[in-house]
Structure 1
């Protein structure tokens, strides 16, 4: 039988002091988890539980402003992926425009050489 480690319970003041240090020092989540021997999911859970603007987590106004001005990494990656998608669609559109022009030119050349009309005329019976 595998023995599990007992679940550690942290007090609210401890959680808040760790989060205050994380926000004010600029340390990474990884560094904070190592410093306090925490598991990564633990710090993520605390960050969700006590967001930057919450009343329970008093931070200096400069720190709050700095944190609220910086876009979240996930927002940034979403924006980057959308920009890449837009660029990909633009290239695809340009390629299709070139193909369309090439087909029109082929039809034009075929009409000149064969002397027949390939494009339908307006009002033609079907």
Structure 2
């Protein structure tokens, strides 16, 4: 005959301080809910319940949605933007080099120093200067 055995379910009780610490990890963006769940062995729905209860960002009637791929998409978009800006800077540098070479060649051909004379101050007009 088998003994009459009941399975006792284990339930963990977490302090409010611990729950707030978990919520702050999520709010700071250090970890996702999935990462916190794996680190601390807490189920995702429990963490979301704590977020709804203790988060400074959650208001009644709002739902917190965590985009899993949002960070990777954001990084890819920023990398593409950096590549585009580097390309533009490269084109501008080519233009600058072209114009400086053009000025150099024009100076040699005309036997006139264009760069030196481009910084001359503007004339003050045809007014006579007073002699002291």
**Greater helix share, structure number:** 1
With normalisation by structure 1, the TM-score equals 0.38
- Structure ID, larger Rg: 2
With normalisation by structure 2, the TM-score equals 0.37
